[in-house]
């Protein structure tokens, strides 16, 4: 058999791909007919495909390549770590320098007393950790009935059984026997689609108060935690009304439940501060992180846990949970170098006060387009809700997602990667985006 390299013709690579590779979140038979776009290399914010096209990656891969592509120092750090200690576990009373250094760094960056890090291989399994951790915590406190976790419709918390159950994606729940027990969902703060005649602020308060009603319905003694993304990402970049998070925080403070902020997308600068929790003044007991933690250069996720929860669980004996790759030395070394670059190159500042304001100005002008009902942006996360009738915020007659798919195909053909969620178009570009990149993005 021929060696499979970048030099094979695109059609041949596509045929081999569809013969043997099952793609996530993809209709395999349809892709086999069309052929996947084969990405061969990347630098900065630009991808190159197997036909030599230069594509602006306005999704930073899967919302993860925060520092952009092509940093040599990360390759060097990874190679050095692979030579020195490619693997060792952190299970049975052993540790290593990269995991110690990264944990210290995350404790320094994370707000409040989030000082303890439990590692996973990505965001989904970090959320699995959270499910077990919060229930184990309450059991250790002598409150074993506090088990139910409240989440939100249209949230995304991963693809594992627990992650997808925490998520509120009905399309995922319909496949494979989800959700698992003791997870319930309340409404999302999506004013554009669901707010009707209410003002955004009224609607934000109403949706937050659903949490209080759900706690009352279940009984506080049965509720372990509330989990939410500061800004829902995969749900379509749902930027909540300003009234939403202060009310949620007030409700969490008034009741004995833990607050988990899923920062897998919002973390590491995307909202213009290091964490979405800082942008919205949220005080979580646990933060889920992944993606921007390594900018996708190596797989890694983590739960960053407050003193009270970590110390209680620590005193309660073995926590019977962990992954072979928890605290993988190469991933930890890569994550540390990624965070060093993020800080040294002032990328969070780029989002907050350099390129961010210009992107916001240009993005919000798109609201003047006849098919755009709403153009919203926070930091480097943005959405365009498309509609045939702006005043009514009406959906298209075609089944939901048809127009989004066409628009996404148009962008793809024009060498711009945007994503569509239903009939919303979304972006989450690398944090190194410059003014001239913004011009190209808006033009395309």
Bridge partners (DSSP) listed for residue 186 = 152
229 touching ligand PLP, by CB under 6 A: yes
Nearer Cβ to ligand PLP, position 169 or 440?
A: 169
Binding to ligand PLP by CB under 6 A, coded x per residue (else -) over 56-85, reads: ------x-----------------------
- Give the range of 44-52, 227-235, 357-365, 434-442 binding ligand PLP by CB under 6 A: 227-235
DSSP state of 285: S
* Residues 151-170, interacting with ligand PLP (CB under 6 A): 156-158
Q: Which of 296, 301, 373, 404 binds ligand PLP (CB under 6 A)?
A: 301
Q: What is the rounded CA–CA span in Å between residue 74 and residue 52?
A: 25
Q: Which of 111, 122, 235, 373 binds ligand PLP (CB under 6 A)?
A: 122
- Number of residues located near ligand PLP, criterion CB under 6 A: 16
Residue 358 Cβ vs ligand PLP, minimum distance, rounded to whole Å: 26
Q: Which of 262, 337, 374, 437 binds ligand PLP (CB under 6 A)?
A: 262
- The number of beta carbons lying within 10 Å of the beta carbon of residue 83 is 8
For 42, the 3-state DSSP assignment is strand
Q: What is the rounded CA–CA span in Å between residue 270 and residue 263?
A: 10
- The number of beta carbons lying within 10 Å of the beta carbon of residue 251 is 20
For 286, the 3-state DSSP assignment is strand
* Residues 308-347, interacting with ligand PLP (CB under 6 A): none
Dihedral through CA 257, CA 193, CA 65, CA 112, nearest 10? Answer: -30
Nearer Cβ to ligand PLP, position 156 or 438?
A: 156
Closest residue to ligand PLP, based on beta-carbon distance: 123
Inter-residue contact 166 to 149 (CB < 8 Å): yes
CA distances from 81 to 93, 121, 171 (A): 21, 18, 41
Structural tokens at position 325: 């790759």
Inter-residue contact 23 to 36 (CB < 8 Å): yes
Instruction: Find the distance separating the first CA and the last CA of the chain, reported in whole Å.
Output: 40
Nearer Cβ to ligand PLP, position 167 or 373?
A: 167
190 touching ligand PLP, by CB under 6 A: no
CA distances from 74 to 39, 61, 113, 130, 330 (A): 20, 17, 29, 29, 10
Q: Which of 45, 234, 257, 386 binds ligand PLP (CB under 6 A)?
A: 234
Residue 156 Cβ vs ligand PLP, minimum distance, rounded to whole Å: 5
Q: What is the rounded CA–CA span in Å between residue 285 and residue 208?
A: 18
404 touching ligand PLP, by CB under 6 A: no
- Give the range of 211-219, 239-247, 258-266, 369-377 binding ligand PLP by CB under 6 A: 258-266
Inter-residue contact 430 to 421 (CB < 8 Å): no
For 330, the 3-state DSSP assignment is helix
Nearer Cβ to ligand PLP, position 395 or 424?
A: 424
247 touching ligand PLP, by CB under 6 A: no
Residue 159 Cβ vs ligand PLP, minimum distance, rounded to whole Å: 6
379 touching ligand PLP, by CB under 6 A: no
Q: What is the rounded CA–CA span in Å between residue 284 and residue 264?
A: 14
243 touching ligand PLP, by CB under 6 A: no
* Positions that interact with ligand PLP (CB under 6 A): 62, 122-124, 127, 156-158, 229, 233-234, 262, 264-265, 290, 301
């Amino acid at each position: 058999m021929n060696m499979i390299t970048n030099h094979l013709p695109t059609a041949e690579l596509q045929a081999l791909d569809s013969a043997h590779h099952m793609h996530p979140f993809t209709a395999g038979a349809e892709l086999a007919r069309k052929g996947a776009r084969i990405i061969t290399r990347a630098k900065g914010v630009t991808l190159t495909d197997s036909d030599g096209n230069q594509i602006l990656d306005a999704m930073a891969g899967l919302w993860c390549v925060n520092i952009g592509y092509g940093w040599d120092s990360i390759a060097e750090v990874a190679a050095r770590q692979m030579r020195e200690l490619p693997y060792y576990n952190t299970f049975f009373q052993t540790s290593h320098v990269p995991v110690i250094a990264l944990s210290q760094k995350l404790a320094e960056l994370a707000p409040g007393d989030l000082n303890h890090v439990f590692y996973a291989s990505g965001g989904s399994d970090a959320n699995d950790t959270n499910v077990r951790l919060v229930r184990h915590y309450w059991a250790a406190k002598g409150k074993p009935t506090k088990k139910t976790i409240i989440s939100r419709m249209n949230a995304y918390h991963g693809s594992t059984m627990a992650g997808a159950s925490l998520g509120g994606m009905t399309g995922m729940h319909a496949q494979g026997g989800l959700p698992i027990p003791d997870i319930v969902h309340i409404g999302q703060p999506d004013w554009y689609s669901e707010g009707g005649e209410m003002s955004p602020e009224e609607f934000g308060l109403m949706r937050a108060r659903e949490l209080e009603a759900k706690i009352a319905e279940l009984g506080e003694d049965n509720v372990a935690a509330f989990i939410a993304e500061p800004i829902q990402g995969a749900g379509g970049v749902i930027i909540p009304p300003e009234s939403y998070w202060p009310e949620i925080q007030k409700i969490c403070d008034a009741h004995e439940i833990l607050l988990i902020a899923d920062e897998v997308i919002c973390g590491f600068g995307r909202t213009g501060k290091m964490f979405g929790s800082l942008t919205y003044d949220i005080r979580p007991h646990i933060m889920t992180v992944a993606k921007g933690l390594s900018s996708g250069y190596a797989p890694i996720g983590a739960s960053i846990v407050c003193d009270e929860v970590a110390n209680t669980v620590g005193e309660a004996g073995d926590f019977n949970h962990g992954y072979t790759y928890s605290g993988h030395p190469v991933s930890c070394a890569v994550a540390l170098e990624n965070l060093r670059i993020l800080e040294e190159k002032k990328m969070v500042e780029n989002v907050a006060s350099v390129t961010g304001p210009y992107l916001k100005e240009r993005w919000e002008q798109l609201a003047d387009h006849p098919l755009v009902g709403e153009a919203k942006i926070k930091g480097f996360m943005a959405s365009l809700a498309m509609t045939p009738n702006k005043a009514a915020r009406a959906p298209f007659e075609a089944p939901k997602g048809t127009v989004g798919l066409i628009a996404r195909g148009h962008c793809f053909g024009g060498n711009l990667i945007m994503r569509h969620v239903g009939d919303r178009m979304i972006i989450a570009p690398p944090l190194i985006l410059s003014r001239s990149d913004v011009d190209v993005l808006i033009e395309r």
